[in-house]
Amino acid sequence: MNTVIVKRVDEGTADTSEIRDLARAAGYTVLDELTQTRTEDAATHIGEGKVTELARLVRRTGADTVIFDNRLGPYQIYNIGQEMPEDVEVIDRFTLILDIFGQRAQTRKAQLQVELAELRYELPRVDAKVSLSKREEHPGFMGLGEYDESRERDIKSQISRIKEELASIAKTEEQRREERRQSGFDLVALAGYTNAGKSTLLRQLAEDLAVDENEELHPDLDTTAESEDRLFTTLGTTTRRADMERDVLLTDTVGFISDLPHWLVESFRSTLDEVYRADLVLLVVDVNEPVEEIREKLVTCHDTLYERNEAPIVTVLNKTDAVSDEELAEKREALSALAPNPVAVSGKEGLNVAALEQRIAEELPPLQDERLVLPMTEDTMSVVSWLHDNARVEDVTYDADQVLVEFSARPDVIERSRAKAGELSMPESA
């Protein structure tokens, strides 16, 4: 697929780097681009003269698609398409993003979220498409009046059905998170923009653990987390056990992207539950980007994360291998108000990862010390084994009629251990 990129800005110079990355992520080859600085034209977005220039560029390059890094209305898409060579498709930024999401969706949850976003995108366009079909006298195009009402009802019904299924999935995931916590795991989520290096950092922090080794405790552990230089490598979530003394599960979440409309953010909000319900959030940013761009992304991330998140947030300045020490120091200072105590690392080179692990341990809820005296019964060793799996056991002392276990663990694990110990003390007839 070959494309020409188009971007209009109200003022300043149009930057097409992100839309080029998005196009490549969707499988397009970018042949050329056309930019413009002007106020939006209601009919064609870029004005008749620029549309004519665009049509010439498309013919010269042989592109089969035109991608606008702007949001286009259905009338604008129609009017632009009328001037393009035959069979050339005109799409906007959000159609492209939905295309990428559709390609990346592998889990049932991700597929449902993509379908929900597509339906929300289509709903307000139904009336406009019908008006266009009437004007062009194509009765079969999206139907006419009565069919349009039917289609609108159908879309709303599908949206309702998908939201119900996503709510059911969210309930199951919440139960799984609680099971992890009850098993003694702390939950750490990696958040940030696409291409910040979250998946690469996950590979540095996580141990190479096969799924079947821990199937009973956490069946959804994933040993693979792709790290590629492309956007939206991670559409769903990937969870792996951290290579740390403390029992930590790391989850790499879907990346943020700039200038997303409300309906699209809402469609993928359930993906952020992994962030909202975590014990600690690592907010990963690409320190090689311009400082103003980093600042803007940090503000957006904070606005989103602080909406429902109560866990501490640690900013991770990633890709330090790509900047000098002087540039890193300058950016640290410039970002100090938003990231007062960041950890600078290189996920690619593994630089300063040990310091990040130490920071994770410091920021997580502290473990509590406990000392249990267990009666020597037939079930005692199963409790001791459970403590080894769910707590940090410091010492176990055996004598003729009792077992002394000294350990540290999360408060909820200590509470469960006391309950198990109490059950051992109960008479056999109870």
Residues of the chain with pLDDT > 70, as a percent, come to 76
pLDDT at 218 over 80: no
* Whether the Cβ atoms of residue 284 and residue 196 lie closer than 8 Å to each other: yes
pLDDT at 197 over 60: yes
Same domain, yes or no: 259 and 392: no
Would you say 252 is a known binding-site residue? yes
pLDDT at 163 over 80: yes
Full residue range of the structural domain in which residue 120 is found:
105-168
The band of 231, judged by pLDDT with boundaries at 50, 70 and 90, is very low
The band of 248, judged by pLDDT with boundaries at 50, 70 and 90, is confident
Answer whether residue 175 is part of any domain. Answer: no
Same domain, yes or no: 68 and 129: no
pLDDT of residue 111: 79
Residue among 409, 343, 364, 368 nearest 188 (CA): 364
Same domain, yes or no: 28 and 162: no
Would you say 347 is a known binding-site residue? yes
The domain total for the chain is: 4
Highest mean pLDDT among 24-38, 122-136, 191-205, 406-420: 24-38
The CATH number covering residue 217 comes to 3.40.50.300
Would you say 196 is a known binding-site residue? yes
Would you say 37 is a known binding-site residue? no
Would you say 233 is a known binding-site residue? no
pLDDT at 143 over 60: no
Would you say 114 is a known binding-site residue? no
Would you say 320 is a known binding-site residue? yes
Answer whether residue 325 is part of any domain. Answer: yes
- Residue pLDDT, tens place only, 41-81: 999 999 999 999 999 999 999 999 999 999 888 889 999 99
Q: What is the DSSP string of 98-159?
A: HHHHHHH--SHHHHHHHHHHHHHHHGGGHHHHHHHHHHHT-TTSS--HHHHHHHHHHHHHHH
Would you say 3 is a known binding-site residue? no
pLDDT of residue 210: 31
Residue among 279, 289, 278, 277 nearest 317 (CA): 289
The band of 28, judged by pLDDT with boundaries at 50, 70 and 90, is very high
Same domain, yes or no: 190 and 297: yes
pLDDT of residue 226: 44
pLDDT of residue 416: 85
Answer whether residue 188 is part of any domain. Answer: yes
Task: Among 314, 336, 363, identify where a domain stops.
Answer: 363
pLDDT of residue 10: 93
pLDDT of residue 75: 86
Q: Determine the distance from the C-alpha atom of residue 189 to the mean position of all C-alpha atoms in its chain, rounded to a whole number.
A: 10
> Token pair for residue 40?
């939006």
Same domain, yes or no: 95 and 214: no
CA 62 – CA 315 distance, rounded (Å): 45
Same domain, yes or no: 321 and 388: no
Same domain, yes or no: 190 and 159: no
Q: How large is the average pLDDT for residues 173-182?
A: 68
CA 238 – CA 222 distance, rounded (Å): 6
Answer whether residue 177 is part of any domain. Answer: no
Would you say 303 is a known binding-site residue? no
Same domain, yes or no: 164 and 143: yes
CA 21 – CA 233 distance, rounded (Å): 12
pLDDT at 228 over 50: no
* Whether the Cβ atoms of residue 285 and residue 317 lie closer than 8 Å to each other: yes
pLDDT of residue 144: 38
Same domain, yes or no: 333 and 225: yes
Task: Among 53, 78, 101, identify where a domain stops.
Answer: 101
CA 354 – CA 361 distance, rounded (Å): 11
Task: Among 49, 77, 101, identify where a domain stops.
Answer: 101
The band of 214, judged by pLDDT with boundaries at 50, 70 and 90, is very low
Q: How large is the average pLDDT for residues 307-335?
A: 89
pLDDT of residue 216: 36
Answer whether residue 430 is part of any domain. Answer: no
Same domain, yes or no: 218 and 341: yes
The band of 106, judged by pLDDT with boundaries at 50, 70 and 90, is low
pLDDT of residue 274: 65
Same domain, yes or no: 201 and 243: yes
Would you say 346 is a known binding-site residue? yes
Q: How large is the average pLDDT for residues 402-418?
A: 87
At 306, which helix (H) or strand (E)?
Answer: helix 291-308
pLDDT of residue 95: 86
Q: Which residue has the higher pLDDT, 180 or 311?
A: 311
pLDDT at 84 over 80: yes
Residue 222: Cβ within 10 Å count? 16
Q: Full-prediction pTM beyond 0.85?
A: no
Whole-angstrom Cα Rg for the chain: 27
Q: How large is the average pLDDT for residues 403-421?
A: 87
Would you say 422 is a known binding-site residue? no
- Residue pLDDT, tens place only, 164-174: 888 888 788 77
Cα angle 225-194-188, degrees, rounded to a multiple of 5 = 55
Q: What is the DSSP string of 354-373?
A: HHHHHHHHHHSPPPEEEEEE
Same domain, yes or no: 143 and 292: no
Would you say 199 is a known binding-site residue? yes
